[in-house]
């Protein structure tokens, strides 16, 4: 089974600064998908960004970008120009391209944004 | 359009009682997933429904857990003889086809507390 590790239980960033959340995963597969989800206090999981393993180019969505290192099995999330609304739990998730359904989640990183 | 909805939002029950949790997926989505989020943990896959196919129950933790999906739409997760370790947030997600490229859209979850 694939495992996803988020080694930072908590992170803090000042408003307008940049923060990077780490994620590593373990898999023997060559084709898969990686995700970052945000979970605010409302509990609703929101997709932040997605990366296909076959794509070398790192995904970007506005202020959110990833650093995908396939050989190192690393998938970090960079949040630029942090805003108070970015405060939430962030979960990294893995999804096989073969089995195609369940997401394997890390334990999450709690991001605090200070004014 | 309407997102994934879940009811109740919160449920408090006594140990040994049965509970039913409901999920209404996004209209037209053929795939539906249940996850469990225990305190301080990531999300744990429970069960997956895809159209009329037999569900994948590989994530259900014990035979006290069961789920059904009626008419390819609404799903109910039932926990019999609840135990204190069942206390968690139960999240439902749906996606259009269930394939690996599909985005899973999550509901707000049901927080279950077993006293």
Tens-digit pLDDT profile for residues A4-28: 999 999 999 999 999 999 999 999 9
pLDDT over 90 at B42, yes or no? no
Average pLDDT, stretch B12-23? 98
User: What is the distance in angstroms between the CA of the first residue and the CA of the last residue of chain B?
Assistant: 37
pLDDT in tens, B64-86: 999 999 887 999 999 999 999 99
pLDDT over 80 at B1, yes or no? no
- For all residues of chain B together, what is the average pLDDT? 93
Res B51: pLDDT: 85
- If we measure between CA atoms, which residue out of A49, A52, A69 comes closest to residue A60? A49
Give the span between the Cα atoms of A48 and A37, in whole angstroms: 5
Question: Are B106 and A45 within 8 A, CB to CB?
Answer: yes
Residues of B in contact with A47 (CB under 8 A): 103-105
- For all residues of chain A together, what is the average pLDDT? 94
Name the residue among A32, A101, A104 with its Cβ closest to that of B33.
Answer: A101
Tell whether B108 is within 8 A of chain A (Cβ).
Answer: yes
* Under 8 Å between Cβ of B82 and B90: no
Give the span between the Cα atoms of B59 and B77, in whole angstroms: 13
């Amino acid at each position: 089974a694939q495992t996803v590790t988020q080694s930072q239980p908590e992170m803090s960033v000042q408003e307008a600064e940049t923060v990077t959340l780490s994620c590593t995963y373990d898999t023997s597969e060559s084709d898969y998908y990686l995700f970052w989800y945000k979970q605010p206090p409302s509990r609703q999981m929101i997709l932040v960004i997605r990366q296909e393993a076959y794509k070398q180019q790192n995904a970007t969505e506005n202020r959110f970008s990833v650093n995908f290192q396939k050989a190192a099995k690393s998938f970090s999330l960079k949040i630029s120009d942090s805003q108070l609304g970015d405060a939430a739990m962030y979960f990294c998730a893995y999804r096989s391209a073969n089995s195609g359904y369940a997401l394997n989640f890390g334990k999450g990183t709690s991001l605090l944004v200070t004014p | 359009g309407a997102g994934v909805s879940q009811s109740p939002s919160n449920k408090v029950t006594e140990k040994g009682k049965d509970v039913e949790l409901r999920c209404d997926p996004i209209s037209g989505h053929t795939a539906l997933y249940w996850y469990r989020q225990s305190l301080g943990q990531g999300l744990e896959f429970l069960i997956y429904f895809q159209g009329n196919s037999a569900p994948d129950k590989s994530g259900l933790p014990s035979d006290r857990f069961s789920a059904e999906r009626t008419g390819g739409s609404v799903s109910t997760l039932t926990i019999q003889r609840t135990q204190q370790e069942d206390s968690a947030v139960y999240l439902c997600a749906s996606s259009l086809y269930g394939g690996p490229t599909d985005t899973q859209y999550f509901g707000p979850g049901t927080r279950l507390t077993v006293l």
